[in-house]
């Protein structure tokens, strides 16, 4: 599972949302509050000054779709180290995991996912295949293959479903257990293939993280967030649960 965020090439060297903006490149030094107010203006879809959580989530969904369709070149540029306009397994590995150490089983799983995204089987991800590393739901066939691969690798008792334990989630990790429960639509304490597919898109987790950010910003608890409230979020609050990467991706996409 993943949350939505910039690829490694876009992330390096940035300090926060404000560090990603063209205004910074032009010599202007906007602070975090300035950047958050600009982003608030984007997701306040009806322009009345008070954005709802539904407006925030709808904006996120539309933006993710637009990014995947229009920014393939930017995504591949952040991963393609040698400039050949395609991504090898080594380049993919470096962009996703860097110097991380994975177990042999985890490494095998990630390579199998790469092979599923590599639809033509040439050993590389093309400019059309690369967006599926972030948005696998754009190709239902690829997403289904990934879901089947995940179950095949993690289903220890071979019942066709994955428990939290099989997915490597510790009982004491309340945050991850909560996300697991949110994906367990039928409440059987395990994820079947349909639920695993949703898990692999990362959409529920990303939206839950944004809902949490909205709740932090809604200081008067009226169910709406205005520019002052959103702009008043601290760096620590924005950074929590990966929301900083999400907002920074929006700032890059809309050239704030």
3-state secondary structure 2-24: CCCCCCHHHHCCCCCHHHHCHHH
Of 64-68, 119-123, 151-155, 187-191, the least confident: 64-68
Is the pLDDT confidence value at 138 over 70?
yes
Is the pTM for the entire model greater than 0.85? no
The pLDDT of residue 15 is 44
The pLDDT of residue 67 is 79
Closest CA to 19 of 238, 241, 206: 238
Residues 21-37: what's their mean pLDDT? 68
The pLDDT of residue 212 is 93
> How many Cα atoms within 13 Å fall on the side-chain side of residue 32?
15
The pLDDT of residue 6 is 44
Is the pLDDT confidence value at 26 over 50?
no
Average pLDDT, the chain: 86
Residues 81-105: what's their mean pLDDT? 89
How far apart are the C-alpha atoms of 212 and 106, rounded to whole Å? 30
Is the pLDDT confidence value at 9 over 50?
no
């Amino acid at each position: 599972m993943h949350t939505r965020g910039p690829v490694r090439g876009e992330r390096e060297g940035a300090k926060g949302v404000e560090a990603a903006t063209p205004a910074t490149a032009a010599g202007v030094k906007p602070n975090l509050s300035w950047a958050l107010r600009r982003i608030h203006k984007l997701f306040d879809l009806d322009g009345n000054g008070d954005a709802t959580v539904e407006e925030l989530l709808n904006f996120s969904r539309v933006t993710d779709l637009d990014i995947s369709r229009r920014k393939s070149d930017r995504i591949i540029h952040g991963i393609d180290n040698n400039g050949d306009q395609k991504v090898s397994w080594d380049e993919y590995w470096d962009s996703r995991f860097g110097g991380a150490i994975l177990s042999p089983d985890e490494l095998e799983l990630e390579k199998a996912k790469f092979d599923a995204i590599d639809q033509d089987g040439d050993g590389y991800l093309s400019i059309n295949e690369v967006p599926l590393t972030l948005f696998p739901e754009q190709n239902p066939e690829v997403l289904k293959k990934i879901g089947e691969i995940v179950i095949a690798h993690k289903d220890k008792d071979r019942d066709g479903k994955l428990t939290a334990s099989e997915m490597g989630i510790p009982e004491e990790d309340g945050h991850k257990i909560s996300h697991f429960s949110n994906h367990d639509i039928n409440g059987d304490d395990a994820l079947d293939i349909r639920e695993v597919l949703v898990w692999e898109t990362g959409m529920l987790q990303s939206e839950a993280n944004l809902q949490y950010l909205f709740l932090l910003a809604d200081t008067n608890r009226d169910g709406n967030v205005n520019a002052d409230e959103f702009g008043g979020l601290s760096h620590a609050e924005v950074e929590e649960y990966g929301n900083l990467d999400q907002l920074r991706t929006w700032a890059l996409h809309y050239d704030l």
